[in-house]
Structure 1
Amino acid sequence: MQNTSKDKKQLSDIRFSVLDLAPIVKDSTASESLRNTLDLARHAEKWGYTRYWLAEHHNMPGIASSATSVVIGHVAAGTSTIRVGSGGIMLPNHAPLIIAEQFGTLESLFPGRIDLGLGRAPGTDQLTAQALRRERRSDGHDFPEQLEELRTYFDPSMASGKMHVRAVPGEGLNIPIWLLGSSGFSAQLAGQLGLPFAFASHFSPAHTVPALDLYRSSFRPSDVLEEPYAMVGVNVIAADNEEKARRLATSMQQQFLNLIRNNPVPLQPPVDNMDDLWSDYEEAALEQQLGSSIIGNPDTIKEKLEAFLNKTGADEMMINAQIFDHQDRLRSFEIVSEVFKK
């Protein structure tokens, strides 16, 4: 199903946001990573980004945002207007009541600024998932039931019977819930429930358009949304010249290379030539995951973002940039903000 309005959109018509994986770089610490996260969030607020999301990953030496709700509180306390949220909380790892209380607390502390993005993947390996979930053996198949329970804690009127357990803080608060996905499952569920949907095109590019079409065709208006609202994640590595941008992008490429080798490590410094590191098979595998990444100077970034917008008809783009040097990362996000505003 094609979105007939998508050809009319310009970059200046849509919102742009940040996905921060809170990278721990080689020879650094989680403490420094979290300081950089707050610094980037403050800059993003100044540059006009709409929201700043952090992701739940566990047992990853290169990601500092495992206690996602804690980091959201840290960022929200250090900023004043930008929306802050999760991209996402992996709901099968948690009791829905815990998430309702955590995000109820965040919304009580920072009214009108908190987003709750939810995923159904573990965000880690199976052994770590077992350590997180203990006696619970949720594998994501009961995600719709977990989601319904969570939403009922915020709005008890949704319950089929009398609520005996209440989320305090949480009950009665209007916290936007987004469904996140890298396939069709959450796309269809978000559409059926009339919720906003965020697709992980930054690591699942081949499924982007089919998932967005499924979301739009499945959409039913709700108290939350009258029309579908789709956000897409995209890797953007921007620099003032093409050569530097391509070199900066090798840190992201190394990160994914180490993941497919089952060797997660801190984010590595850029290299001159990835051909020294990967095999032909590994290069092809990375192209499948990172094929939608946009790398280059401001003109290239603008051209490719416009093409991606035309392809997806997205209502919002969430920018991810795994860049080793913090100043280079800031400059990349600054360039992207300038491109969206032109």
Structure 2
Amino acid sequence: TEDGIDLHASPGEGADVELWVFGSSAGPSAELAGRLGLPFGANYHVSPATTIDAVEAYRAAFRPSRVLREPYVVVSADAVVAEDDAAARELASTFGHWTHSIRSGHGAIPYPDPRRTPPLGEAERAAVEDRLITQFVGAPATVADRLDSLRKVTAADELVVTSVTHDHVDRLRSYELLAREWGLPRLLAA
């Protein structure tokens, strides 16, 4: 670095790696990214109540650098998109189970199959409600409109969207439907 500090990134050692700072509050991560003039990723899907504060803290602390002349904000969101709202709700119905599994120390994989998983119990649902309310679930236009509202409210330069579903095909379809709604080009699979 320009401060004489050696940085090592594995497995990207020697690559021209772009450094980003991610955070979910207006704390040290947002301020550090701003002071160093680096891009900042605000984790809406982790902490929706603090996202705007995090972005504002980053922008307030921002100092131009060799990397950026102006602040650059990315906001992350979980979204499940299907042909209609009901189908999307079905695909997303076990997100709470998956989140509860992670929080209870059982891990993230495998993601539960909505066709074979009973509804969450009241206590389990209460334990993951904060994550359930952060999901954007529905038909392409529904989700695109809600994500656009998130982008506007946070003044984000970009959104990072993840889709968590049981079947990989459903996840790819979710991305495809959202991309089509946004008018993005279709990319060929590798």
Shorter-chain TM-score range: 0.7 to 0.9
Letter in 2 for 1:304: R
TM-score (norm 2): 0.84
Which runs of no fewer than 5 residues in structure 1 stay unpaired?
1-95, 108-173
CA distance in 2, matches of 1:219, 1:284: 37
Distance of 1:268 and 1:251 partners within structure 2: 6
Q: Which residue number corresponds to residue 196 of structure 1? A: 39
Kept after mapping to 1: 8 A contact 2:94/2:117: no
1:305-333 Cα distance to aligned partner (Å, 9 max, x none): 12111211100000111111111111100
Q: Aligned residue for 1:268? A: 112
Equivalent-residue separation in structure 2 for 1:284 and 1:216 (angstroms): 34
Is the 2:35–2:63 contact (alpha carbons within 8 Å) kept by the matching residues of 1? Answer: yes
> Please, what is the CA RMSD of the aligned residues?
2.1
Extract structure 1 runs of 4+ deviating beyond 4 A. Answer: 271-274
Distance 2:20 2:7 in 1: 17
Q: Which amino acid aligns with 1:203?
A: V
Alignment match, 2:188? none
- In terms of mean alpha carbon deviation, does 298-307 or 283-292 score higher? 283-292
Normalized per residue, which structure has more helix? 1
Contact 1:230 1:316 in 2 (8 A): yes
Task: For 2:145, give the aligned amino acid.
Answer: E
1:214 is aligned to 57
1:278 deviates by: 2.5
Q: Which amino acid aligns with 1:104?
A: E
Aligned to 1:322: 164
CA distance in 2: counterparts of 1:97 and 1:177, whole angstroms? 11
Equivalent position SS for 2:74: strand
Deviations 1:132-191, CA, capped at 9 Å, x for gaps: xxxxxxxxxxxxxxxxxxxxxxxxxxxxxxxxxxxxxxxxxx431001112222111000
**Is this contact kept in 1: 2:31–2:57, CA < 8 A?**
yes
Distance (Å, rounded) in 2 between the aligned partners of 1:284 and 1:200: 21
The equivalent of 1:102 in structure 2 is: 11
- The question of whether the paired residues in 1 share the 8 Å contact of 2:41 and 2:73 is answered with yes
**Identity percentage of aligned residues:** 36
Q: Superposed, which structure 2 residues align to 1:54-93 within 5 Å?
A: none
- Say yes or no: does 1:255 pair with 2:98: yes
Name structure 2 gaps, 5 residues minimum.
Answer: 1-5, 185-190
AA aligned to 1:175 is V
Q: Tell me which residue corresponds to 2:150.
A: 308
Pick closer, same or farther for the CA change 1:304–1:272 going to 2, 3 Å.
farther
Larger Cα-atom Rg:
1
Output the CA distance in 2 between the equivalents of 1:228 and 1:278. Answer: 43
